[in-house]
Amino acid sequence: MINRNTPLFISLVGQTATGKTEKALSLANKLHQQFPNYKIALISADSKQVFSELAILTGADIPKNWLKKKNDSLTYQYFAHQKLPITLHGTSILTGDKEWSVGHFHNLVINLVANLTETIFIIVGGTGLYHQQIYQPAATLHQQPNEKLRTELETKTLEELQNQLIESDPNKLIAMNNSDLNNPRRLIRAIEISLSPKDNPKNNNIKKIIPTIQIGLTTENLEEKIALRVKKRIEQQVIEEIKNFEKNYSTENLIAKASLGYQEINQYLKNEIDQEKMIELWTTSEIQYARRQMTWWKKQTQITWQTAEEFSIELIINKILEN
C-alpha cells in the first residue's frame, strides 16, 4: 500500500545512452495502470535539458503529442499526456541565457511536492548531484551568489583559481575530480562557498525528501550506442539548432553552452574542424562523460542496478508494495 501522507519517490539513474527516459515513460504508464488513483510526475534530473532551444543536443526527447502547460501554483511550465494523468517537469523550461543549478532543481522539486497531491514522482536523469541533493541536501545548497566576488574571480586563470581554493578550502580542492579541477565555473563556486558565512539561517531549513526506490541502469555496448545517438542527433538537425543558438546568444560563458557536443559543433560551424572530426570529438566527450558518471554512481551503495535490456518494472512495483 502507498502511504498517502508521504511522497513516493523513484529515482531512475545511470549513464548517458542507457535509455532512462524511455524506461521512465514505460514505468509511468505501468504505474498508472497499477495505481489508477495516483498521478505520475516525471522530473528530469538533467542539468542541460532545461534549455528549450537545445532540445535536440541535450536529448530532451519530449514525447510527441504531449501538451505544453502552465499552472499558476507551479514555478515552471511542464508537459502533459493528452489522456493520462502523467506529466513531465524540468525539461525545456528556460531560454538559453538563464542560469540553472542544483539549487534551482531542488526548488523545482520542492515546489512540485508542495502542489501535487496523491502523486508518484519519478526522477530520471544522469546528473548524479541532482539526485543526491534531493535526498541529502548540503547546507550550502542555497548559498546566494556573491556577484562582486564572481566578477573578480572571472578575471583569474585556471591555475590562479586553483591556488586560491587551496588557500580558502584545501579539503575541497583535494575532494574535486579532474573535471571539476579544470572547470573555472566549478572552482569559482567552490571559492565562493568557502568564503561565505557558515551560519546562514536560510541553509538550516532545507527541505529533505526520503527516497523510496533508487534504480540504476547499465547497458551493453555503451560506446556503440553513444556513437549511434550522436549520428541520430545530426540527422535531427542539431547543427542547425546550434547555429540558431549562436545567432541568438553571442555571450560565450553561458551555462547552456557547456552542454556536451556544443563546442565541437561550434568549432565545425567556424570551419575549425570538418564534420568527421566534429563527430569524433563529440562522441569521445560523451564516452568520457559516461565513464565519469559510472565512477560517481558506483559509490552510491543504495542503488539497485539493472541492465537496460532486462529492466524490470515488476521489481519496482513489488518494492512499492513492500514499502
Quick one: cell of 312? Answer: 524490470
61 vs 314: CA distance, rounded Å = 24
Question: What backbone phi and psi angles, to 5 degrees, belong to 48?
Answer: -115, -15
241 vs 233: CA distance, rounded Å = 10
Are residue 187 and residue 43 in the same domain, yes or no? no
Are residue 93 and residue 214 in the same domain, yes or no? yes
pLDDT at 82: 96
pLDDT at 96: 97
Chain center to CA of 184: 20
Are residue 80 and residue 211 in the same domain, yes or no? yes
Are residue 236 and residue 275 in the same domain, yes or no? yes
Task: Show the 3-state SS of 56-71.
Answer: CCCCCCCCCCCEEECC
Are residue 212 and residue 67 in the same domain, yes or no? yes
pLDDT tens for the 323 residues of the chain, in order = 566 667 899 999 999 999 999 999 999 999 999 999 999 999 999 999 999 999 999 999 999 999 999 999 999 999 999 999 999 999 999 999 999 988 899 999 999 999 999 999 999 998 888 998 888 888 778 777 788 998 999 999 999 999 999 899 887 777 776 667 888 888 998 898 888 876 554 544 556 676 679 999 999 999 999 999 999 999 999 999 999 999 999 998 899 999 999 999 999 999 999 999 999 999 999 999 999 899 888 888 889 999 999 999 999 999 888 86
Please give the tally of structural domains in the chain: 3
pLDDT at 169: 87
Map grid coordinates 502547460 to a residue.
69
CATH number at residue 276: 1.10.287.890
Q: Is 112 left (phi over 0), alpha (psi -120 to 50) or beta?
A: alpha
Are residue 189 and residue 155 in the same domain, yes or no? yes
Question: For 16, which DSSP code?
Answer: T
Considering the domain boundaries, does residue 3 fall inside one? Answer: no
CATH number at residue 47: 3.40.50.300
Considering the domain boundaries, does residue 202 fall inside one? Answer: no
Are residue 130 and residue 257 in the same domain, yes or no? no
Task: Tally the residues of the chain.
Answer: 323
Its domain, for residue 83, covers: 8-138+207-220+300-322
49 vs 308: CA distance, rounded Å = 21
Are residue 125 and residue 176 in the same domain, yes or no? no
Chain center to CA of 260: 12
Q: Is 171 exposed, middle or buried (0-12, 13-18, 19+ CB in 10 A)?
A: exposed
Are residue 214 and residue 181 in the same domain, yes or no? no
Q: What is the DSSP string of 168-190?
A: H-HHHHHHS-HHHHT-HHHHHHH
184 vs 28: CA distance, rounded Å = 38
Q: Determine contact, residues 123/209, Cβ cutoff 8 Å.
A: no
Are residue 179 and residue 252 in the same domain, yes or no? no
pLDDT at 197: 73
Map grid coordinates 556536451 to a residue.
260
| Confidence (pTM) | 0.86
Helices (H), strands (E): how many in the chain? Answer: 13, 8
Are residue 171 and residue 260 in the same domain, yes or no? no
Map grid coordinates 565545425 to a residue.
268
Residue 261's SS3 state is coil
Neighbour tally for 20: CB within 10 Å: 27
Are residue 80 and residue 216 in the same domain, yes or no? yes
Q: Sheet holding 213-218: strands in order across?
A: 67-69, 78-80, 86-89, 39-44, 119-124, 8-14, 213-218, 304-307
